[in-house]
């Protein structure tokens, strides 16, 4: 798992630090895609910069295919794992899946597909749903996700369910018909995607957003403190 390490996320789960990331055993393309799978690291120390990190290995899913962009969240006493993965039986590069966790590196029960690229703005360049992030607000739980190719067509969509819904029932989730963030040439904001939600030291909401520069094959990391959702 030493090639092409992508999309690391740092989480605290039951008092320990975990990093979820995707990696490939080879940089080569296979069947039109990179060969990424998902992995986890664990650190028991109070300070993650000083403690020893242990490889917990690959996080297995029922389908052995291109998978990436995992995140974790806890809801009503249960731990959930949310990620992007290709299903060879479904057109496109990646769909969004959700499963309950037996522990921070093992899934339990059958995963469910929450979303696949099907709307016009999700299928420009590539058919992609990826980069999910979770936030709770009021009586709803939201999942932002990224769609289309990682250029100026990259954009952020939104799923939501009622806070007391069965999250493993795909019919309980709703999808916005249009992206909530997309390229604005007037404002010179290009290809927003793969965001994260967190809070600062004072508990204020922070939206983290990688932002590509137009006509350049690189991104700048942008952190903006704002309220990214509406009542």
Which domains are present in the chain? 3-224 (2.115.10.20)
Please report the pLDDT score of residue 222 as a whole number.
47
CA distance 128 to 146: 7
Per-residue pLDDT averaged across 111-126, rounded? 98
Residues 6+ apart with CB under 8 A from 129: 84, 92, 94, 95, 96, 115, 116, 117, 122, 145, 146, 147, 157
- What would the pLDDT profile of 33-73 be if each residue is shown by its tens digit? 789 999 999 999 999 999 999 999 999 999 999 999 999 99
Closest C-alpha to 157, from 123, 186, 189, 125: 123
Task: Evaluate if residue 216 carries a pLDDT over 70.
Answer: no
Please state, in angstroms and as integers, the Cα–Cα distance from residue 202 to each residue in 58, 198, 205, 206, 225, following that order.
35, 11, 9, 11, 12
**Which one, of 93, 76, 55, 50, lies nearest residue 167 by Cα?**
76
- Average pLDDT of the residues in 77-91: 98
158/174 Cα distance (integer angstroms) = 8
Question: Is 84:63 a contact under the CB 8 Å cutoff?
Answer: no
Q: List, for residues 160-189, the tens digit of each pLDDT value.
A: 999 999 999 999 999 999 999 999 999 888
Predicted confidence band at 202 (pLDDT cuts at 50, 70, 90)?
confident
Q: 75-79, 107-111, 163-167, 208-212 — which is least confidently predicted?
A: 208-212
Q: What is the pLDDT of residue 29?
A: 80
* Residue with tokens 């296979």, as numbered in its chain: 30
Kindly list the distances between the CA atom of residue 108 and the CA atoms of 36, 69, 78, 166, in Å, as whole numbers in the listed order: 21, 19, 11, 16
Mean pLDDT, rounded, of the chain:
90
Q: Where are the extended beta strands (E) located within 76-137?
A: 78-85, 95-103, 106-115, 129-137
For residue 94, what is the DSSP state? B
């Amino acid at each position: 798992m030493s090639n092409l390490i992508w999309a690391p996320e740092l989480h605290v789960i039951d008092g320990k630090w975990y990093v979820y990331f995707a990696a490939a055993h080879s940089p080569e393309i296979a069947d039109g895609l990179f060969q990424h799978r998902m992995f986890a690291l664990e650190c028991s120390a109070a300070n993650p910069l000083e403690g020893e990190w242990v490889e917990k290995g690959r996080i297995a899913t029922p389908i052995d295919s291109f998978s990436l962009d995992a995140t974790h969240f806890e809801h009503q006493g249960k731990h959930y794992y949310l990620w992007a993965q290709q299903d060879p039986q479904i057109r496109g590069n990646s769909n969004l899946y959700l499963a309950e966790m037996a522990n921070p590196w093992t899934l339990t029960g059958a995963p469910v597909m929450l979303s696949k690229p099907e709307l016009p703005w999700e299928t420009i360049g590539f058919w992609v749903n990826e980069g999910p992030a979770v936030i709770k607000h009021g009586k709803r739980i939201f999942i932002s996700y990224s769609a289309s190719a990682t250029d100026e067509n990259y954009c952020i969509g939104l799923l939501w369910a009622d806070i007391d819904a069965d999250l493993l029932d795909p019919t309980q989730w709703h999808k916005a018909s249009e992206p909530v963030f997309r390229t604005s040439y007037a404002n010179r904001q290009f290809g927003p995607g793969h965001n994260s939600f967190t809070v600062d030291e004072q508990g204020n909401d922070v939206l983290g957003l990688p932002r590509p520069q137009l006509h350049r094959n690189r991104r700048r990391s942008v952190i903006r403190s704002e309220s990214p959702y509406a009542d």
